[in-house]
Amino acid sequence: MNMEIVQQHNGKINIILHDQQKEQQCKETTQKQHHEQLHYIDDQFAAFIGLDHVKEIMREIYALKLMNAQRDEYGMRKNKQVLHMMFMGNPGTGKTTIARQLATVLYELNILSKGHFIEAERADIVGEYIGQTAQKTRTLIQKAQGGVLFIDEAYSLGRGGHKDFGREAIDTIVKQMEDYHEDFLLILAGYPGEMEQFLHLNPGLRSRFAYHVSFSDYNLAELMRITKQLITERDYELTDAAEREIRVHIQEVLYHKPLHFSNARYVRNIIEKAIRKQAMRLLSTYDVTPKDLKQITRADISLE
């Protein structure tokens, strides 16, 4: 056996494991921790319908971090781990929600040291006189170190043409992204067409993002899953008739494909409206039961 039993002066028994065995145990523990971390990633994104590619990106970031640490132990060169991401997707496809979640998860995985989330838009970045924009942008990036800086509707920075200070902001961001790529995640988000145009404003912009993440529009099945999830989360349930009503309505809306359909936000609004309507209905009901409180009926669903 690869183990030694030694009795100490005080009578205590000490078991000494030989190196090989210790190393094996160490490897097993590390392996177990890695599995736990991967499960943790899956769990954190489990509530999001679709979006498997986001999960995959997280696993990739985690894998690279681990391999870098191991290469470092063997004195090998570490890979540069750039986190910066570009999110492209229509309204209500989950860009902001996922960005917030990334801050938490990357912090838990020890990839970001603080995990705070700063959301900014054009007005927070673009100044009113020469030099102010660069300063504002740098300050914001400094504040976001160790966490996530989420710039929504990023294309609005390039909106004002050549004389606009938005360009100054973009140039500053490009420079800063290069200098701060570890322990800092910059996410630029916006609608697909506009973000494509935006990428043309500065030739260095596209290649500085390690991940270009597309958030697709949800189909009927996904929107119905999101509906049920939102209902369950809030401790309600839909009667069959209510569910059918919503399904038929969404099917119709998707068929006509409105220009700015707001995806998951659209169904969230339907649910929130139904909850308010149910409350009003129950107000005039004598002796409200727990079942009444829970059920959203067809009468509660108001659709436009």
Ligand X SMILES: Nc1ncnc2c1ncn2[C@@H]1O[C@H](COP(=O)(O)OP(=O)(O)OP(=O)(O)O)[C@@H](O)[C@H]1O
What is the binding site for Mg ion (CB under 5 A)? 95-96
Phi, psi of 214 (to 5 degrees): -95, 130
CB under 6 A: which stretch of 48-56, 118-126, 236-244, 282-290 binds ligand X?
Answer: 48-56
Judged by beta carbon distances under 5 to 8 A according to partner kind, the member of ligand X, Mg ion, none in contact with residue 93 is ligand X
* Residue (49 or 254) nearer to ligand X, CB: 49
- Residue 151 beta carbon to ligand X: minimum distance, rounded to whole angstroms: 12
At its nearest, how many Å lie between Mg ion and the CB of residue 152?
Answer: 6
CB of 137 to Mg ion, least distance (A): 20
> How far, in Å, CA of 229 to CA of 71, rounded?
42
| Footprint (CB under 6 A) of ligand X, residues 211-240 | 226, 229
Residue 86 structure tokens: 């570009």
Query: Counting Cβ atoms within 10 Å, is residue 245 exposed (0-12), middle (13-18) or buried (19+)?
Result: buried
Name which of 98 and 134 has its Cβ closer to ligand X. Answer: 98
Q: Is 115 in the site for ligand X (CB under 6 A)?
A: no
CB under 6 A: which stretch of 11-19, 25-33, 44-52, 74-82 binds ligand X?
A: 44-52
Q: Can you tell me whether residue 110 is helix, strand or coil?
A: coil
Question: Cβ 32 to ligand X, closest distance in Å?
Answer: 30
The yes or no reply on residue 94 touching ligand X (CB under 6 A) is yes
Which residue type does 237 have? E
Residue whose pair of structure tokens reads 């054009």 in the numeric block = 122
Choose between 93 and 172: whose C-beta lies nearer to ligand X.
93
C-beta of residue 264 within 8 angstroms of C-beta of residue 98: no
Beta strand ranges found along the chain (DSSP E): 3-7, 13-17, 85-89, 117-120, 148-151, 185-190, 211-215, 237-238, 295-296
Minimum Å gap between C-beta 193 and Mg ion is 16
Distance of alpha carbon 281 from alpha carbon 299, whole angstroms: 9
User: Which among Mg ion, ligand X, none contacts residue 166 (Cβ within 5 to 8 A by kind)?
Assistant: none
Instruction: With beta carbons less than 8 A apart as the criterion, state whether 112 and 147 touch.
Output: yes
Q: State whether residue 201 is helix, strand or coil.
A: coil
| In the complex, minimum distance from the CB of residue 207 to ligand X, in angstroms, rounded to a whole number | 24
Q: Does 146 bind ligand X (CB under 6 A)?
A: no
Which residues of this protein are in contact with ligand X, per CB under 6 A? 48-51, 89, 91-97, 226, 229, 264-265, 268
